[in-house]
C-alpha cells in the first residue's frame, strides 16, 4: 500500500489568478525516496503544505500514512516529520532546547529515538549550548533535520533542504538521507531545484508551473530521452554555441558545463558535415561525441516555454 | 577582456572577534572578465564580496574597485558597481518600467534618459509588451533577467552577482548566462558566485575559497589540469573537502 497517495490535487491563490497546482497525482511507496524536482514556482512548497496538513487543496484528495489530509489531519501530524524550506526552529533557544522541545511536543524523549539522529546530531553536539540563531547554515540544517526526526516519523517531508548549499555539503546531506532509508526504511519526500540530485532518488516527479512533466525512476526518464545527444567542443566555446544554432540540421544547442549539448537531424546533417562546417567557421580542436543525457537534459527537453 | 585591472585586492582581511572570515586574499580581475568566485558555505565569500561592494570595512589589507579604494572611497565604489542577488531582485509592487525609473533615479539618470534606455533594453530582451506589467505577476525567470538588466542599467564598470541563478529553471539559467556574456562583451566586468559547477565552466577565471583563503585561482581548463579533475565539480570537491571550518 502507498504511504503517500495524491489524487488530482489543485490549488490556486489570489482568487484563482495564480494556479500553483494544476491537478497532480502520484503515489509514494514505503521506504522510497521520492523527489520533486523543479525550479522556484513549480508548486513544490504548496504540495508540501497540503501534505503536511497546513493548507487545504481546492479540489482533489490526498492521504499520508493511511490518513486523509482533511478529515484525519491530527493523525498525520503525529506521524510525519517536516523540514520547511525556511529555517523554522526557535532562534532564541539553544540547540539542545530546540531538540528537547520537539521531543516533548510529540510526547517522547530525546533518549527514546536517539538512534535515529545519532549520526547527524553528533556533528552539532559540541555546540549544544549555542542558540540556534547563531549556528552556521550547515549546522542549522543538521539541527532542523534532527528535530524533524526525533519523534520517529513514518514519513519525512523535506522542502528544498539543499538550496543554497555548496556541492560538497549537498553530497554529504544526501548521504545522511540514504542512510536513514537504508537503516530505518524511512520514506522521504524531498524537493530540490538541483537537477543533479535527481539520481539520489528512487523515483522523481519533474515539476514545472504546477504540473508534472514526468514521473518515473531517474533511470527510466533518461532512457525515455528520444534523441541522440551530442557533446560538442571547440577552442571557442561561446562562439560555438551561436554557430551551432545557425547551422541547418542542428535542432537544439545549449551550454552544458565544459561542452555544449546538441541534437542533430542526421538526415540533414552528418557529424562529419558538422565538423567541416565548424572548421570552415574557424573552430579548432573540434570534438563531437555521443553523450548520455542527464536529468537536466531531460527536463529541458520536456520543458514547455 | 582587456589588460586593464578593475578589481585589485591585496591581503584583504575581515576579522570578527577571533574569527577571521576572510583571511588575506589577493587577486586581480580584468576589465570585461567573467570572474567566478566559488567556495563552500562559510568559506568567506559573502564577507569578501561585501567588502568589495563598499558595504563592510576591511580589518586589514586593501582593495580597489573601479579605481576607488573600498575603505576610503566606499561611496564612489557603490556608484560605479551594480549588484544583484538571488534574494532581492525587484520591487514587486512596481511595474517593470517603474522599477527602471526608480533605479535610474537612484543613480542620477534623468527620467527621459531612463525611459529611452528602458525601451531599448526591453526591446533587446523581447519584453516590450510587459512594460506596464506589475513585477509581482512575472515568472521568476523573467524577474531574474530583468533584475540583471537593472543591475547594469547605470552602466557600471563591474557587476556583482550573488548566486543569480539559484532556483531558476535550466533553460532560463542558460539564457541568463547569455546576458552575462553580452554584458562582458560590452566591457562590463562580471564577478559572480554560484553553486552550479557547470556555470563555473562558463567563467574566464575561477577562484575557490577554503576557510577564508583563496586556495586556487586560474582558468577552468588550468584548474582541471592542476587538480587532475574531469570537471569543475571534481576540482571544487578536491579543495572544499579539505576545509576545517565546521559548517
- For residue A305, is pLDDT > 70? no
Those of residues 19-48 in A touching chain B at CB distance below 8 A are 38-41
Q: Which three cell numbers stand for residue A153?
A: 516519523
CATH number at residue B143: 3.40.50.300
Residue in the structure block whose three cell numbers are 572611497: B73
How many whole angstroms separate alpha carbon B119 and alpha carbon A288?
41
B246 vs A: CB within 8 A:
yes
pLDDT tens sequence across B130-153: 999 999 888 888 898 999 999 999
Q: Within chain A, where are the H helices?
A: 44-51, 73-79, 95-105, 114-121, 137-149, 167-184, 218-223, 237-246, 271-280, 295-302
Count of pairs with CB atoms under 8 A, one residue in A, one in B: 92
Tell whether domain A229-302 is in CATH 1.10.8. no
How many whole angstroms separate alpha carbon B148 and alpha carbon B159?
9
Mutation target vs A (from B134, B163, B166, B169; most A CBs, 10 A cutoff): B169
pLDDT tens sequence across A93-122: 999 999 999 999 999 999 999 999 999 999
How high is the pLDDT of residue B151? 95
Cross-chain residue pair A138–B246, CB shorter than 8 Å? yes
Sign of torsion over alpha carbons A197, A218, B165, B205: positive
Residue range A278-288: average pLDDT? 96
Please tell me which residue of chain A has the smallest CA distance to B196.
Answer: A167
| Bridge partners (DSSP) listed for residue A267 | none
pLDDT tens sequence across A12-31: 998 888 899 999 999 999 99
B142 vs A: CB within 8 A:
no
Tell whether domain A4-216 is in CATH 3.40.50.300. yes
Query: What is the crossing angle of helices B220-227 and B232-240, to 10°?
Result: 60
Nearest Cβ partner of B174 from A163, A169, A254?
A254
Does residue B109 fall inside a structural domain? Answer: yes
pLDDT tens sequence across A239-262: 999 999 999 999 999 999 989 999
Cross-chain residue pair B240–A166, CB shorter than 8 Å? yes
Cross-chain residue pair B202–A255, CB shorter than 8 Å? yes
Does residue B9 fall inside a structural domain? Answer: no
Distance in Å, alpha carbon of A205 to nearest chain B alpha carbon:
15
Residue in the structure block whose three cell numbers are 555546540: A127
Average pLDDT, chain A: 95
How high is the pLDDT of residue A304? 63
Provide the 10 A C-beta neighbour count for residue B125: 16
Domain assignment of residue B103, given as a range: 32-43+74-240
Q: Are A296 and A269 in contact (CB under 8 A)?
A: no
Which regions in chain B score pLDDT beneath 70? Answer: 246-247
Largest distance between two CA atoms of chain B: 54
How many whole angstroms separate alpha carbon A232 and alpha carbon A6?
42
How high is the pLDDT of residue B31? 96
Does residue B82 fall inside a structural domain? Answer: yes
Number of domains in chain B: 1
Helix, strand, coil % over all residues of chain A, rounded to 5 = 35, 30, 35
How many whole angstroms separate alpha carbon A151 and alpha carbon A186?
13
Cross-chain residue pair A164–B163, CB shorter than 8 Å? yes
Residue B152's alpha-carbon distances to B104, B139, B158, B202, in angstroms, are: 10, 21, 8, 20
How high is the pLDDT of residue B244? 83
How high is the pLDDT of residue B246? 64
What is the domain partition of chain A in residue ranges? 4-216, 229-302
Distance in Å, alpha carbon of B25 to nearest chain A alpha carbon:
20
Q: How many helices (H) and strands (E) does chain B have?
A: 9, 10
How many whole angstroms separate alpha carbon A197 and alpha carbon A171?
9
Does residue B61 fall inside a structural domain? Answer: no
Q: Are A232 and A279 in contact (CB under 8 A)?
A: no
Contacting residues of B for A20, CB less than 8 Å apart:
none
Nearest Cβ partner of A139 from B163, B168, B246?
B246
Does residue B147 fall inside a structural domain? Answer: yes
Does residue B69 fall inside a structural domain? Answer: no
Q: Are B140 and A40 in contact (CB under 8 A)?
A: yes
Mutation target vs B (from A38, A39, A86, A123; most B CBs, 10 A cutoff): A39
How many whole angstroms separate alpha carbon B190 and alpha carbon B181?
9
How high is the pLDDT of residue B247? 62
Query: In the structure, what pLDDT confidence band is assigned to residue A164 with cuts at 50, 70 and 90?
Result: confident
Provide the 10 A C-beta neighbour count for residue A6: 23
B242 vs A: CB within 8 A:
no
A300 vs B: CB within 8 A:
yes
ipTM, 2 dp = 0.87
Distance in Å, alpha carbon of B109 to nearest chain A alpha carbon:
33
Distance in Å, alpha carbon of A231 to nearest chain B alpha carbon:
14
Contacting residues of A for B140, CB less than 8 Å apart:
39-41
Residue A15 zone, left/alpha/beta (φ > 0; ψ -120 to 50; rest):
left
How many whole angstroms separate alpha carbon A17 and alpha carbon A36?
24
Of A35, A67, A70, which is closest to residue A55 (Cα–Cα)?
Answer: A70
Distance in Å, alpha carbon of B107 to nearest chain A alpha carbon:
30
Q: Which three cell numbers stand for residue A288?
A: 563531437
Cross-chain residue pair B170–A164, CB shorter than 8 Å? no
**CA B20 from centroid of its chain's CA atoms:** 23
How high is the pLDDT of residue B171? 92
Amino acid at each position: 500500500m502507498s504511504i503517500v497517495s495524491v489524487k488530482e490535487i489543485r490549488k490556486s491563490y489570489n482568487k484563482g489568478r495564480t494556479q500553483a497546482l494544476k491537478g497532480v497525482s502520484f503515489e509514494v511507496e514505503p521506504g522510497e525516496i521520492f523527489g520533486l524536482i523543479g525550479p522556484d514556482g513549480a508548486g513544490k512548497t504548496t504540495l508540501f503544505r497540503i501534505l503536511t496538513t497546513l493548507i487545504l487543496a481546492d479540489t482533489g484528495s490526498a492521504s499520508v500514512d493511511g490518513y486523509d489530509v482533511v478529515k484525519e489531519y491530527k493523525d498525520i501530524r503525529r506521524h510525519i516529520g517536516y523540514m520547511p524550506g525556511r529555517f523554522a526552529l526557535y532562534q532564541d533557544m539553544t540547540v539542545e532546547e530546540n531538540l528537547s522541545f520537539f521531543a516533548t511536543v510529540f510526547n517522547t524523549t530525546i533518549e527514546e529515538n536517539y538512534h535515529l539522529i545519532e549520526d547527524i546530531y553528533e556533528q552539532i553536539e559540541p555546540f549544544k549550548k549555542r542558540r540556534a540563531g547563531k549556528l552556521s547554515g550547515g549546522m542549522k540544517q543538521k539541527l532542523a533535520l534532527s528535530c524533524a526526526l526525533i519523534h520517529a516519523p513514518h514519513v519525512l517531508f523535506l522542502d528544498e533542504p539543499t538550496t543554497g548549499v555548496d556541492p560538497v555539503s549537498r553530497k554529504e546531506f544526501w548521504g545522511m538521507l540514504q542512510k536513514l532509508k537504508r537503516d530505518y526504511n524511512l520514506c522521504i519526500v524531498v524537493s530540490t531545484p538541483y537537477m543533479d540530485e535527481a539520481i539520489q532518488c528512487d523515483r522523481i516527479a519533474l515539476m514545472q508551473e504546477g504540473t508534472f512533466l514526468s514521473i518515473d525512476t531517474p533511470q527510466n526518464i533518461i532512457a525515455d530521452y528520444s534523441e541522440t545527444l551530442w557533446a560538442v567542443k571547440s577552442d571557442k566555446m561561446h562562439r560555438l554555441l551561436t554557430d551551432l544554432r545557425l547551422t541547418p540540421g542542428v535542432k537544439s544547442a545549449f551550454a552544458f558545463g565544459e561542452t555544449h549539448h546538441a541534437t542533430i537531424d542526421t538526415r540533414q546533417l552528418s557529424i562529419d558535415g558538422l565538423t567541416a562546417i565548424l572548421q570552415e567557421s574557424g573552430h579548432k580542436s573540434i570534438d563531437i561525441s555521443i553523450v548520455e543525457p542527464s536529468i537536466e537534459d531531460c527536463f529541458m527537453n520536456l520543458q514547455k516555454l | 577582456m582587456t589588460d586593464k585591472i578593475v578589481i585589485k585586492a591585496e591581503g584583504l582581511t575581515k576579522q570578527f572577534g577571533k574569527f577571521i572570515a576572510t583571511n588575506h586574499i589577493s587577486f586581480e580581475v580584468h576589465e570585461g572578465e567573467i570572474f567566478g568566485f566559488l567556495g563552500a558555505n562559510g568559506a568567506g565569500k559573502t564577507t569578501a564580496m561585501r567588502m568589495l561592494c563598499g558595504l563592510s570595512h576591511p580589518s586589514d589589507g586593501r582593495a580597489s574597485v573601479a579605481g576607488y579604494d573600498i575603505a576610503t572611497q566606499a561611496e564612489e565604489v557603490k556608484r560605479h558597481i551594480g549588484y544583484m542577488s538571488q534574494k532581492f531582485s525587484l520591487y514587486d509592487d512596481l511595474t517593470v518600467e517603474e522599477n527602471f525609473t526608480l533605479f535610474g533615479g537612484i543613480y542620477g539618470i534623468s527620467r527621459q534618459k531612463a525611459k529611452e534606455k528602458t525601451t531599448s533594453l526591453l526591446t533587446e530582451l523581447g519584453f516590450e509588451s510587459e512594460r506596464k506589467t506589475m513585477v509581482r505577476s512575472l515568472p521568476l525567470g523573467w524577474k531574474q533577467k530583468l533584475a540583471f538588466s537593472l543591475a547594469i542599467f547605470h552602466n557600471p564598470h563591474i557587476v556583482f552577482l550573488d548566486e543569480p541563478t539559484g532556483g531558476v529553471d535550466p533553460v532560463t539559467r542558460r539564457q541568463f548566462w547569455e546576458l552575462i556574456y553580452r554584458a562582458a562583451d560590452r566591457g562590463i566586468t562580471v564577478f559572480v558566485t554560484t553553486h552550479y559547477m557547470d556555470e563555473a565552466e562558463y567563467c574566464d577565471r575561477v577562484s575557490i575559497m577554503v576557510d577564508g583563503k583563496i586556495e586556487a585561482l586560474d582558468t577552468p581548463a588550468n584548474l582541471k589540469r592542476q587538480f587532475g579533475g574531469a570537471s569543475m565539480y571534481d576540482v571544487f570537491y578536491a579543495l572544499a573537502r579539505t576545509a576545517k571550518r565546521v559548517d
